[in-house]
Structure 1
Amino acid sequence: MKKKLFSGLPIDLENTTKEIEKEFQKIIVRAEKRSYGKIVTIIEGVDPSIAKETLKSLKQKLGCGGTYKDNLIELQGDHREKIKKLLLELGFKEENIEISNEIE
C-alpha cells in the first residue's frame, strides 16, 4: 500500500491559521448561579475548531472541571478574575475579551 506524501495543510500553516483565528474572536466571560448555589463560569465566542483545546488548557491551569456544549465553554467555579490572563497566554487579544462583573 502506498503512503500519501502530502495530506492537507502543513502543520506549521495549520497552527498559524488557528493563531490568526484567535485574534479576531469576540470572547464574553460571565458567571451563572446554578442549582444548589454552585457558580459556573461561562465563556462564549470561542471558535468550535479550537474550543476543545482551549477548554483542556483552561481546566489544567485552573484545576477545575468543565465542559464544552452548545458553543459555550463551562468551567466549574467562579474564575472571572483569572480567566483574562489565561486567555491572553493562549493567544486571544485583550481588546476582544469582555468580562461581566454580575452573576446571573
Structure 2
Amino acid sequence: MSEEVCPKCGLPSELCVCEEIAKEDQNIKVYIENRAYGKPMTIVEGIDSKDISLDDLATELKTKCACGGTVKNGQIELQGEHKQKVKEILINKGFSEQSVVLGK
C-alpha cells in the first residue's frame, strides 16, 4: 500500500496543501490594456507558474467569462473587459482578496 508523497510538504498527495499555500503568497494584478483597433484585453499577471498551472486557470477564466484568451509570458490574456469578474473568480478559487489588485 504505497501512497504518493508530495516532495514539497511531505504529505500524501490527497492531503497536499502546497497549492493552497501558494495561492496565499501571490501578488496578482488585473488590468485592462487596449490592443489593436482599440479592443480591450484583460491582463492577469503575478501568478507564479511553478506553483499554479496557468493553462488550467486560463481555461477556467475563459469559460466563466465566456471569452477567448491565451497564456503568454507568464500572463493570462482575456479578450474583453473582465476585471471585476476575474477578481471574483480568483477569490472564489482561494486567492486572498488582498493579493488580487485591480489596475488602470
What's the TM-score once normalised by structure 2's chain length?
Answer: 0.83
Is 1:79 matched with 2:82? yes
Range that drifts further, 56-65 or 45-54: 45-54
Displacement of 1:47 in angstroms is 1.5
Is 1:69 matched with 2:75? no
Letter in 1 for 2:27: K
> 1:95 corresponds to which residue?
98
Instruction: For CA contacts below 8 A with separation 6 or more, give which structure has more relative contact order.
Output: 1
Is 1:29 matched with 2:30? yes
Displacement of 1:93 in angstroms is 0.2
Q: Unmatched 5+ residue regions in structure 1?
A: none
Letter in 2 for 1:74: E
Displacement of 1:63 in angstroms is 0.9
1:48 partner SS: coil
Percent of aligned pairs with the same amino acid = 42
Report the structure, 1 or 2, having the larger helix content.
1
Given that 2:67 and 2:80 are in contact with CA atoms closer than 8 Å, whether structure 1 keeps it comes out as yes
Give the number of aligned pairs.
96
Q: Unmatched 5+ residue regions in structure 2?
A: 7-11
2:95 partner SS: coil
1:30 partner SS: strand
What's the TM-score once normalised by structure 1's chain length?
Answer: 0.83
Is 1:48 matched with 2:49? yes
